[in-house]
């Protein structure tokens, strides 16, 4: 557990250091575009993996309760990714001049809505199993 937290802390420090190094001079615009592309790719990968896991877990969750743990994990990942997308969307909306690029915010809200639907399904399935 300590190694995992240390690795996360080290990654945060490295990202912070690189962001401040790239923030100097004309590299700023290229860095911002690169970070948005990396964030977009990572988000798409996480959401895709979570959707695949959800489909399998929802299909097997009613007959095999162990799969419900995976549904909880996918729901949590979707909620965190949705909140991160909303934050990025708000920051990007504030920094763009023609105020209208709001697609990151909308995608984040859609991901959060999906996490809410999965949460409702999960609560209903757990109630059926315990009743």
**Overall pTM surpassing 0.85 (yes/no):** no
What span, in angstroms and rounded, lies between the C-alpha atoms of 112 and 70?
Answer: 17
Q: Give yes or no for residue 129 having a pLDDT over 80.
A: no
Could you report the per-residue pLDDT of 58-105, keeping only the tens digit for each? 777 777 777 777 778 778 878 888 888 888 788 777 766 666 678 878
With CA atoms as reference, report the closest residue to 78 among 57, 62, 100, 101: 57
With CA atoms as reference, report the closest residue to 57 among 41, 71, 42: 71
Could you report the per-residue pLDDT of 28-58, keeping only the tens digit for each? 666 667 777 777 788 788 777 777 877 787 7
């Amino acid at each position: 557990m300590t190694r995992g937290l240390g690795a996360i802390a080290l990654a945060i420090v490295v990202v912070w250091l690189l962001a401040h190094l790239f923030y100097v001079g004309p590299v700023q615009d290229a860095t911002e575009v690169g970070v948005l592309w990396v964030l977009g790719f990572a988000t798409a990968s996480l959401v895709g993996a979570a959707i695949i896991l959800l489909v399998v877990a929802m299909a097997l969750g009613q007959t095999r309760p162990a799969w419900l743990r995976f549904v909880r994990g996918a729901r949590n990942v979707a909620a965190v990714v949705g909140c991160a997308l909303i934050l990025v969307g708000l920051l990007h909306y504030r920094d763009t001049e023609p105020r209208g690029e709001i697609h990151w915010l909308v995608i984040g809200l859609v991901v959060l809505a999906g996490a809410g639907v999965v949460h409702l399904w999960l609560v209903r399935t757990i109630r059926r199993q315990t009743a």
